Chain A
Amino acid sequence: MTARLAGRLVLLAAGVAGVGALLVVGFGALPSFGDVQHGYGVRAVAASLAHRAANTVGSVTFDQRAFDTMGEELIMFAAATSAVMLLRRMRDEEEQQARHDYGGEDVFGALRLTGAAFLPITLLVGCYVIAHGHLSPGGGFQGGVVLATGMHLAYLAGDYRVLERLRPSSLLDIAESGAVAGFLAVGLIGMGLTGSFLDNWVPLGTFGDLLSAGTVPILNGLVGIEVGAALVLLVARFLDQALLIRQEGEDA
């Protein structure tokens, strides 16, 4: 063993021991695992019921801590936009049209049938998860990802052209940016009406109804559009890079 490697191992051991000790001390002060009563939980449930949101997790992310969610929104938007920009076709690269349209005959029948059968079901589930984010587990992020992954069942079933028709890039670009702008607009309207940013200013409705909990379902919908569009655009760029884009002079 060289001296350099030994030094690195000592450094690693010191770091691991230090972090471990801090974690043990820190966890010791946490409420015990699986408690029914929890200080934060009790308060969050009360605040959620006051705003007639049946799903407390949805109420925390889109009402009580909506500002944090806005930060995550902007991170997601910035990350997806930069990745899409990095993966664009460069000047010395060319697209191979021929590889675009590999047809259904290249895919197992069973896979083709499964993809075709599950495509509409998955898209429906995605919309349901977004629309019921304030009532049951799920919400904009989860539903948006379900929508984005569901759409790629079309590709799995062997129809790249169907997938391309399902994802009009320019429309998705506008939808993505528009949804982020909409999130900010909902927050600013709240500031204008009540004096605080992202305040729940929409009529709260009846507890448990599809239209209840004020701004929560609106923000869920906007996040769903943003996440769904961003992921479809991102995976589209990755698919293009892996399947279509070649450097000039590269063999097919």
Chain B
Amino acid sequence: MNGVVLVILFAAVVVLSTATAFTRDPGRQALVFGGYGLVLGVIMLALQAPDVALSQITVGAAIVPLIVLLTVMKCNRILAQHRKDQHREGG
């Protein structure tokens, strides 16, 4: 039984890590990465390592995606501003 659960979880990790690598938009990538972090945490829980599972879930599924999302927000705003400035100079 435990073996089946682990195989499913490992398969989910393979799928989600590949999905993270192939997601092109950084904002979406942060969310997929959060899901990937969550599954890693569940694997650690299934392998009876609740201490590291707790660290993984809080950092990998919450803090890191949040910081990435905020950075993407800032970058997008700067890019939009640049485009606007160029448009003004051109027009």
When chains A and B are docked, how far (Å) is the Cα of A52 from the Cα of B54?
23
- Asked whether B51 lies within 8 Å of A142 as measured between CB atoms, the reply is yes
C-alpha spacing A145/B81, complex, angstroms: 35
Chain B residues near A224 (CB-CB < 8 A): none
Other-chain contact of B54, A137, A148, A247 (Cβ < 8 Å): A137
Selecting from B11-19, B31-39, B64-72, the interface stretch reads B64-72
A232-252 toward B: CB 8 Å interface, digit per residue (1/0)?
A: 001100110111000100110
* A66 on the B face (CB < 8 A): no
Chain A contact residue count (CB 8 A cutoff): 25
User: Which of chain B's residues have a CB closer than 8 A to the CB of A183?
Assistant: none
Q: Report the bound CA distance from A57 to B50 in whole Å.
A: 10
Does A149 interact with chain B (Cβ within 8 Å)? yes
Beta-carbon contacts under 8 Å, B51-69 to A: 51, 53-55, 58-59, 62-63, 66-67
Q: Answer yes or no: B73 CB below 8 A from chain A CBs.
A: yes
Given contacts A138-B51, A250-B81, are A145 and B70 in contact (CB under 8 A)?
no
Do B71 and A57 touch (CB < 8 A)?
no
Once bound together, how far apart are the Cα atoms of A148 and B62, in whole Å? 10
Q: How far is the CB of A247 from chain B (nearest CB, A)?
A: 8
How many B residues have CB within 8 A of the partner chain?
19
Residues of A within 8 A of B81 (CB): 247, 250-251
Write out the residue numbers on chain B whose beta carbons fall within 8 Å of the beta carbon of A138: 50-51, 54
Q: How far is the CB of B31 from chain A (nearest CB, A)?
A: 16
- B80, chain A: closest CB distance, angstroms: 9
Closest to A148 in B: B63
Report chain B residues within 8 Å CB of A55.
51
CB distance from A115 to the nearest CB of B (A): 14
Instruction: Find the B residue at minimum CB distance from A250.
Output: B81
B54 contacts A231, C-beta separation under 8 Å: no
Q: Which of A191-221 contact B (CB under 8 A)?
A: none
A-to-B contact residues, CB < 8 Å = 55, 57-58, 129, 137-139, 141-142, 145-146, 148-149, 152, 231, 234-235, 238-239, 241-243, 247, 250-251
Which residues of chain B have a CB within 8 Å of any CB of chain A? 49-51, 53-55, 58-59, 62-63, 66-67, 70-71, 73-74, 78, 81, 84
What are 7 A-B contacts with C-beta separation under 8 Å?
A: A137-B53, A139-B51, A142-B51, A145-B59, A145-B63, A146-B54, A242-B71
